[in-house]
Amino acid sequence: MRSNLCLLLLCCGVVSVQPPARAQTLVYSFSYVDTASSRRALFANVPPPGRRSEDLDIAMVRNTRKNEIYSISIADGKRSLLFSDDGTHLEISAGDTVSRGAKAYTVGVWRERRMTPSPGLYSDDGIYELSLDSSNHFRKIGTALSRAAPVLNPQATQAAVQSADAQSILIYSVPDWKVLSTLNVAKLVQTHCPVCVTTSFGWLADGSRLFVELDVGDEDDSGTANHPGAYIFSAKGVDQGAIPPEVGAFHYPGYVHAQVIDRHLLGQSPDGQYLFLDYGVKQRNSDGQTAPFLVIAGSDQKSVKQFPLRFPIGTIYLSPSGKYGAYLESRQTPDYHGEPHLWVRDLNSGDEEDLLSVPPPNPPQSPTPNILLSILGWTD
């Protein structure tokens, strides 16, 4: 009940504006996207071109009506509005935003009216640093290589960004956004798994090494030269080999490992344990009835914890302390629509809490904008 009530207050604009939250506080966003009907209603009586204000021209070309970033305390459920791009020249891409501490880093678009080289509305893509202190302050720190979000190391001192052609990963210093090194992903693929593609990458707990995950996809991996898996790089680009497949190997009572879906490395906890998203099938069931599991494993094969999960959308976000993991689930409603829910699991006890949800997508004729929910990260 508390979650539903707080969500109603947020959607109605009744929300406390507080300083940035402290430890064990999750950061998430709402993006408001107009339906065809709500957009027509919003711009029903606008003046013709040439007689509009700059703000109105910008509002009419935005992809979202607004994007808002919130925090929620895991301890007491308190929620605070940290940032909003409503009414600004900047439109952030909330799904391509990552937060750490009192800052967030996002792919954004700045729009403004200019008279040169010819009169019109101009846009400029970039990487922006957002202040999560309710001031709505932001600054451009770099050029966007793609629409993908930067991936911060746990110390928030470096960020990894995949190139537009996916052939390399660039390492930037934070917050001055200078290139420190480049990882040659194409060479990694050619060396270890020529038929593979890069499916994900991220940082290990020490903040100086990264993992890059290679997946065969639809190709035949029967060749001896193909070795998919998670490979470790130093931040300077030195290949340090793969995480052995026996680390975190799936063993759950009553289940066998799924044959149709590979496991994925999610990251590493502060104490050095690896977190995997893996899949199992109940014994005597078909492979089409897979179930997701969170697997936490150290280098000792006996120290493994495994938790059943609801099917997550995207990745699982580990808190800086390593105590909590947050993820989104798309729950099917009675009329077969997907309703996003935000879950947090205590990785020590296994307890789980449904923190909030947003309504399923509205039909085009609805006068109400859709609300898209994204997880951005945790505060320190």
Write the CB contacts of 199 (distance below 8 Å, at least 6 apart in sequence): 213, 214, 215, 264
| pLDDT of 166 | 84
Residue 31: its H or E element: strand 25-33
| pLDDT of 133 | 95
Q: Is the pLDDT of residue 303 over 90?
A: no
Contact (Cβ atoms closer than 8 angstroms) between residue 167 and residue 186: yes
Rounded CA-CA distance 363/154 in Å is 40
Residue 141: its H or E element: strand 138-142
**Is the whole model's pTM more than 0.75, yes or no?**
yes
- 173-199: average pLDDT: 92
Q: Cα–Cα distances in Å, from 322 out to 60, 301, 315, 380?
A: 43, 19, 15, 11
Side chain identity at residue 379, one-letter code: T
23-81 pLDDT per residue, tens = 589 999 999 999 999 999 999 999 998 899 999 999 999 999 999 999 999 999 999 99
Rounded CA-CA distance 88/66 in Å is 9
Write the CB contacts of 100 (distance below 8 Å, at least 6 apart in sequence): 152, 156, 377, 378, 379, 380
Per-domain boundaries in the chain? 245-304
